[in-house]
Structure 1
């Protein structure tokens, strides 16, 4: 699926991974909810997701030694109908589904989002807009760059 029409800043992910990542084995490191958001954005959900991609084949040590670790900061604006559960210390995903919701007749809500949980968090909601705010290299535990951010 081409996510470009639905997501602002999708090129930030494409520059690092070359394609839309699967979000399989990704881990949600942090979530924030803001009932007002900034400007006229309405309720906002921000997620910091540690993405891991293995490239190449298998060597003597097992799966490819080339692993890409990146921390993606996603923002979802105008969030409504939020359902979430399972938050824990790991929060592994088996996928992140972002789909066009405009055909469902939800006036003003164009994007349907599902955090497909593997172990821990799972969430679903609709929103007006999705933005990838940043994608930065990170340590294998996903925490290095979060430590630099004001929390």
Structure 2
């Protein structure tokens, strides 16, 4: 169940919900690639490649929480009207990834644990792909 109406506006969001069983908060996920695209005469695009997983309640012999449902999610924003992008580095771990509605647009706030902080206002967002991966 998705309780945030902004998530319903993300094209193909159901792919993420099917994989996890819910829309995740992306805590401890990592942004591994960002692509900016100019769109002459129109607003630009930006695409994030996010390595995500689910943290379970189970722990290993060392007391670390086990992870499941590893994947890479390609998330594209089109019609970028505003973007604040800072701190992208060799590691970009997310504390949270939040979506909201702002009039006819979507906002996305990427709060960083390490590295990248970002905020953007876009006309649309789309889950381009979700590829299951093996744990590192």
Structure 1 residue 80: Cα displacement: 1.8
Specify which of 22, 25, 34 is matched with residue 28 of structure 2: 25
The whole-number CA distance in structure 1 between the counterparts of 2:46 and 2:105 is 15
**Counterpart of 2:85 in 1: which secondary structure?**
strand
**What's the TM-score once normalised by structure 1's chain length?**
0.79
- Structure 2: where are the runs of 5+ without partners? none
Which residue number in structure 1 is paired with residue 124 of structure 2? 129
**Counterpart of 2:19 in 1: which secondary structure?**
helix
**What's the TM-score once normalised by structure 2's chain length?**
0.87
Structure 1 residue 56: Cα displacement: 4.4
For the aligned residue pairs, the C-alpha RMSD in angstroms reads 2.0
The whole-number CA distance in structure 2 between the counterparts of 1:52 and 1:99 is 22
- Structure 1: where are the runs of 5+ without partners? 103-108, 142-151
Write out aligned runs for 1:13-92 (5 A).
Answer: 13-36=16-39, 42-63=43-64, 65-92=66-93
The whole-number CA distance in structure 1 between the counterparts of 2:59 and 2:33 is 32
Retained in 1: the 8 A contact 2:34–2:48?
yes
**Counterpart of 1:16 in 2: which secondary structure?**
helix
The whole-number CA distance in structure 2 between the counterparts of 1:125 and 1:66 is 29
Which residue number in structure 2 is paired with residue 106 of structure 1? none
Q: Which has more strand, going by share of residues?
A: 2
1:111 aligns with 2:106: yes
